[in-house]
Amino acid sequence: MPVKIYKFTLFHLADELWALPLLPTSQFIACEAITLIPGAPENVLGLVYHGGKIITLLDTAKILDLRVKRIRSKNCLLFDYQGDYYGLEVDDGDNTIRVKQVFTDRSKKKFNKYIKVNKRKVYILDLENLWEQVKIYG
């Protein structure tokens, strides 16, 4: 029986390491001029233009409920979801990794799945929980 392999893109945010499932169009880019959107959901920072694409920039720290005081980053993790482009504001990009097992931390209500990287827990920003927080997709 074949072993399931999971692939993730790692990123740093507020001195923590996080994982996003690897998507075909994932890449780290610099986010410069952010255009604010009046009436946008609170977890949306605005729009950025990159490589001919309009990208909805998401406030990753707010989505993850990180209460750390931090300076706005100019980096984001770009990905495509259902034909639309999104960017997660991150402090820094990291490697893409492959793991054989995903664990669940039952003490956490959201973003409770994690992988182990160098014997430490790295929580996964899974898209299902992401859209529940951002409220773009009902």
Confidence at residue 77, expressed as pLDDT on a 0 to 100 scale: 95
Distance (Å, whole) CA 52 – CA 112: 35
127's tokens: 């898209």
The pLDDT score that the predictor gives to residue 70 is 63
Q: Which amino acid is at 38?
A: P
The fourth-level CATH superfamily of domain 6-134 is: CheA-289, Domain 4 (2.40.50.180)
User: What is the pLDDT tens value at each position of the chain, 138 positions in all?
Assistant: 677 899 999 999 988 999 999 988 899 999 888 999 998 888 999 999 998 999 999 999 999 988 776 667 789 999 998 889 999 999 999 899 999 999 999 999 889 999 999 999 999 998 888 888 887 765
Residue 1: predicted pLDDT: 61
E-strand stretches of 40-138: 44-50, 53-58, 75-81, 84-90, 92-99, 103-104, 113-117, 120-124
Q: CA-based angle 17:59:76, to the nearest 5?
A: 60
Res 76: pLDDT: 93
